[in-house]
Amino acid sequence: MFGLGRPQPSSAEKIAAVENELKVVAEMHSRMVKICTLKCIDKTYREGELSKGESVCLDRCAAKFFEAHQKISDQLQKETQARGGGGFGM
């Protein structure tokens, strides 16, 4: 009645969706660390701590990475919904 004609996902499907989301987030984090480290950290490691420039660079790189990821995710979700794929709505 309230499902609007779509079958509700089972517990196993919900768990699989959450596990998949965790995998995607972990992969994104790994890519972000690799890309931002290559871009922002001096390879000679002259100091034990991050310099102010490195810290600012990492902060901006991470922010841009997440912003781009969010825009792509939003667009993919819109396209999926337009095709009638819907997702689980968690």
Domain membership flag for residue 89? no
Contact 1, 80 (CB under 8 A): no
Alpha helices, DSSP H, located in the chain: 11-40, 52-82
Could you tell me if residue 27 is inside a domain?
A: yes
In a domain, 86, yes or no: no
Q: Is residue 59 part of a domain?
A: yes
Start-to-end Cα distance in the chain: 19
Q: At 43, which CATH number?
A: 1.10.287.810
Number of domains in the chain: 1
Whether residue 2 lies inside any domain: the answer is: no
Regions in the chain scoring below 70 on pLDDT? 1-7, 85-90
What local confidence, expressed as pLDDT, does residue 90 receive?
43
Amino acid at 48: G
The answer to whether residue 68 is domain-embedded is yes
Angle formed at CA 59 by CA 42 and CA 35, multiple of 5 degrees: 55
Q: 62 is in which domain, residue-wise?
A: 12-81
Which pTM value belongs to this model? 0.67
Is residue 22 in some structural domain? yes
Dihedral sign for Cα atoms in the order 22, 78, 85, 10? positive
For residue range 24-48, what is the model confidence (pLDDT) as tens digits?
889 999 999 999 999 999 888 788 8
